[in-house]
């Protein structure tokens, strides 16, 4: 039995090394790769994906899993061995349904699509990337069909990001949230908007980066096991627990963009850096679901990073970096500026309140395209219409509309819901943290994050995939997924900011 487990671990380590190579190639593609490398890079990544897939679905893996059933039971659900075997089995049962040829084809298509999008977006040229997007949706449907019996074709895709979650459940919770959120959005947006001219001033890029990095270092991001680089789209990419990198991009006339993206990706990265090293080289490494992952990035970006206690402590420091730009700006004005709610076009720049409407729209479009209710070529107009009706602003072009997100153009479909699920779970987790350690709020006001970071590490980070999102929620909060803490957070914070109470 021990031999079989050792053999399984050896094979899993190999798979994780192949996965790490693909991760590094993907990171490099966005951070360093010269344009001439693009064509072959797609093929390289496709080959690695195919080899990884082939090695994983080797029938020897199935045999080992069969042999290891007694060990899994004996060691128990929460044990390291139990978790490794369970996770492997879960992934294996899915992977054997997908032909390696498909994996390679999809990987190649995604890589090519990404390369076209990178040029099509600045050129505002949806037509150019449309056939690639069509292919990506077609591949998603093809993938879903490897799992017949689904309620909705998006379900098998969602399952890869949010284990056990279904489109129907998301619809239900989104509709509940929408009902609560829309009146808040409406009453805020009906007010005369306050103007924050300092938000548009020029903030030198190097100072933006210096400030953001000094903050996430204090949060607990370990630069000895990571780094931050520039990329067109911020993301986190880990190749091992010892190497979890983040990216950002700088807009000198919008300082909040890089800063909050650094806090956000820092949150993702701390989650992956905090995994118990016993899970290195196994599928248990990483974050358990994208929703939980987002709960961690949003915690540091929004709940901490846009809070009054945080800025009470850090605003003087920010002013040292930008003495002229912030000279006449009071803490209170600054706080209102970084938390202003407005009609905006770009999801990643949207405020906390309208953000979820951006997400719901994307999720609805994915459902509709896969249902055949909406054609890919209709997306640009549908996008504009929905933005107008939901947020009250119509994009002038596709660059700030349907072309804005990297996801679909990288073949990532069935993913967007995680951002809103993350918001919801974030509030559930944070309420639990405050209940256990009411001193956290005061500590944040003193620039101390140890209590919170350690609590997160103990309750969430270290476990990797050991517990599902639902199990984590149950273990930590005693509750299922519920929007109450999140709506409470929104209503309290924005109720004060906009005198809604």
499 — alpha (psi -120 to 50), left (phi > 0) or beta? Answer: left
In angstroms, what is the minimal distance from the CB of 88 to a copy of itself? 17
Question: Which DSSP letter does residue 463 get?
Answer: G
Candidates 81, 110, 265, 301; catalytic one? 265
Q: At its nearest, how many Å lie between a copy of itself and the CB of residue 284?
A: 15
Please identify, using beta-carbon distances, which residue of 22 and 140 lies nearer to a copy of itself.
22
Q: In what order do the strands lie in the sheet with 243-248?
A: 228-230, 243-248, 236-240
Task: Considering the complex, state which of residue 55 and residue 491 has its C-beta at the smaller distance from a copy of itself.
Answer: 55
Distance of CA 48 to the CA centre of its chain: 24
Distance CA 15, CA 20 (A): 8
For residue 178, the 8-state DSSP code is: H
Between the CA of residue 17 and those of 10, 30, 40, 326, what are the distances in Å?
11, 20, 21, 47
Q: Which is nearer to a copy of itself, 286 or 414 (CB)?
A: 286
- In the numeric block, the tokens 């072009």 are attached to 397
Nearer to a copy of itself, 30 or 428 (CB): 30
Residues of the shown chain interacting with a copy of itself in the complex, contacts defined by CB under 8 A: 13-14, 17-18, 20-22, 24-25, 28, 32-41, 43-44, 46-48, 51, 222-227, 229, 239-243, 245, 280-281
| CA angle in degrees (0–180, nearest 5) for 13-140-409 | 90
Least Å from the CB of residue 214 to a copy of itself: 17
Measured CA to CA, the distance from residue 231 to residue 228 in angstroms comes to 10
Report d(CA 175, CA 420) in Å as an integer: 12
CB 379 within 8 A of CB 413: no
Q: How far is the CB of 138 from a copy of itself (least distance, A)?
A: 24
Separation between Cα atoms, residue 106 and residue 131, nearest integer Å: 14
Is residue 377 among the annotated active site residues?
A: no
Q: How far is the CB of 277 from a copy of itself (least distance, A)?
A: 10
**Choice between 107 and 477, CB closer to a copy of itself:** 107
- Name the residue nearer to a copy of itself (CB basis): 51 or 326: 51
Q: In angstroms, rounded to a whole number, what is the distance separating the alpha carbons of residues 253 and 203?
A: 6
Given a contact cutoff of 8 angstroms between Cβ atoms, the answer to whether 22 and 48 are in contact is yes
Paired sense of beta strands 228-230 and 236-240, if any: unpaired
Quote the least distance from Cβ 231 to a copy of itself, whole Å: 13
Residues serving a catalytic function are 265
């Amino acid at each position: 039995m021990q031999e079989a487990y050792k053999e399984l671990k050896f094979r899993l380590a190999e798979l994780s090394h192949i996965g790490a190579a693909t991760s590094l190639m993907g990171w490099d593609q966005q951070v360093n790769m010269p344009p001439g490398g693009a064509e072959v890079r797609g093929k390289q990544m496709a080959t690695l994906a195919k080899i990884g897939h082939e090695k994983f679905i080797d029938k020897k893996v199935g045999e080992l899993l069969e042999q290891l059933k007694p060990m899994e039971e004996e060691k128990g659900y929460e044990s390291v061995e139990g978790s490794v075997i369970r996770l492997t089995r879960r992934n294996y049962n899915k992977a054997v349904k997908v032909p390696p040829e498909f994996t390679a084809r999809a990987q190649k298509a995604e890589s090519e699509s990404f390369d076209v999008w990178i040029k099509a977006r600045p050129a505002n040229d949806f037509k150019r990337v449309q056939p690639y997007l069509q292919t990506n949706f077609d591949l998603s449907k093809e993938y879903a069909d490897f799992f017949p019996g689904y309620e909705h074709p998006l379900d098998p895709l969602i399952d890869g990001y949010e284990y056990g979650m279904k489109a129907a459940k998301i619809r239900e919770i989104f509709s509940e949230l929408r009902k609560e959120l829309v009146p808040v959005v409406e009453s805020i947006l009906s007010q005369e908007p306050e103007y924050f001219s300092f938000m548009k001033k020029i903030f030198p890029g190097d100072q933006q980066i210096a400030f953001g990095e000094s903050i996430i270092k204090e949060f607990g991001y370990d630069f000895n096991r990571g780094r931050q680089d520039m990329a067109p789209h911020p993301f986190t990419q880990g190749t091992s627990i010892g190497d979890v990198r983040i990216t950002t991009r700088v807009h000198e006339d919008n300082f909040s963009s890089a800063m909050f993206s650094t806090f956000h990706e820092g949150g993702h990265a701390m989650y992956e850096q905090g995994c118990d090293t016993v899970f290195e080289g196994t599928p248990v490494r990483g974050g358990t679901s994208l929703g939980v992952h987002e709960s961690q990035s949003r915690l540091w970006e929004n709940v901490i990073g846009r809070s009054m206690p945080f800025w009470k402590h850090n605003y003087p420091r920010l002013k040292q970096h930008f003495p002229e730009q912030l000279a006449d700006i009071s803490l209170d004005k600054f706080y209102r500026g970084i938390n202003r709610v407005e009609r905006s076009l770009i999801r990643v720049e949207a405020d906390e309140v309208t953000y979820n409407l951006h997400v719901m729209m994307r999720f609805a479009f994915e459902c509709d395209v896969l249902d055949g209710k909406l054609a890919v070529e209709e997306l640009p107009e549908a996008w504009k219409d929905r933005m107008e009706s939901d947020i009250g602003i119509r994009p002038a072009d596709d660059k700030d509309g349907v072309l804005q997100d990297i996801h679909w153009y990288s073949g990532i479909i069935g993913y967007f819901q995680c951002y809103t699920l993350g918001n919801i779970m974030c509030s559930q987790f944070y309420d639990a943290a405050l209940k256990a350690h009411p001193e956290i709020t005061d500590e944040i006001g003193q620039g101390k994050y140890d209590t919170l970071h350690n609590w997160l590490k103990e309750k969430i980070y270290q476990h990797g995939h050991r517990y599902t999102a639902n199990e984590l929620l149950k273990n930590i909060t005693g509750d299922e997924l519920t929007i109450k803490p999140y709506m409470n957070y929104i209503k309290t914070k924005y109720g004060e900011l906009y005198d809604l109470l």
